[in-house]
């Protein structure tokens, strides 16, 4: 896989943070876990349940040598989401995410979670429009 990076951009590879000082192309020639800087969510942006799940899985990808706490938190958060979700699309997505995380395919899990952001946003907008308390409030 070939990746092009701009000057000053970072890439997270197997837990290491690399920053380039000029435009560069990097070819990853073996199987590695990586995340581009633009795909990294800051803790302050994890404002909904799905975004919190994204952040937790991101931690697992970015720090693969010390994921015990993140795995435990993921299990609790995923179970809580399953307990409150009624949308078939969300439930199917959560099942796919569980399978991906279970096989340490964190990057693919992050992509699947991102695909559910609009679904969650629509659910939250509907709940907010009905003047109902939103169950996906950030902790």
pLDDT for 20-29, tens place per residue? 899 989 888 8
Residues 53 and 23 reside in one and the same domain? no
In a domain, 25, yes or no: yes
Determine the structural domain holding residue 16 and report its residue range: 2-38
2 three-state secondary structure: strand
In a domain, 138, yes or no: no
Structural domains in the chain (count): 2
Residues 72 and 93 reside in one and the same domain? yes
Residues 51 and 32 reside in one and the same domain? no
- Alpha carbon dihedral 97, 102, 108, 113, in 10-degree steps, equals 20
| pLDDT averaged over every residue in the chain | 87
The 10s digit of each residue's pLDDT in 6-16 is 999 988 888 78
**Which position has the higher pLDDT, 135 or 37?**
37
pLDDT band of residue 92 (cuts 50, 70, 90) is very high
In a domain, 137, yes or no: no
């Amino acid at each position: 896989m070939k990746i092009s990076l701009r000057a000053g951009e970072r890439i997270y590879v197997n837990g290491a943070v690399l920053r380039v000082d000029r435009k560069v192309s990097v070819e990853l020639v073996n199987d590695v876990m990586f995340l581009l800087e633009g795909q990294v969510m800051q803790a302050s942006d994890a404002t909904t349940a799905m975004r919190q799940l994204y952040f937790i899985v991101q931690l697992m990808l970015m720090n693969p040598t010390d994921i015990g706490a993140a795995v435990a938190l993921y299990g609790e958060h995923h179970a809580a989401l399953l307990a409150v979700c009624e949308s078939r699309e969300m439930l199917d997505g959560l099942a796919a995410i569980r399978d991906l995380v279970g096989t340490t395919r964190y990057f693919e899990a992050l992509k699947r979670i991102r695909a559910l952001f609009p679904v969650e946003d629509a659910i939250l907008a509907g709940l907010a429009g009905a003047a109902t308390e939103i169950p996906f409030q950030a902790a």
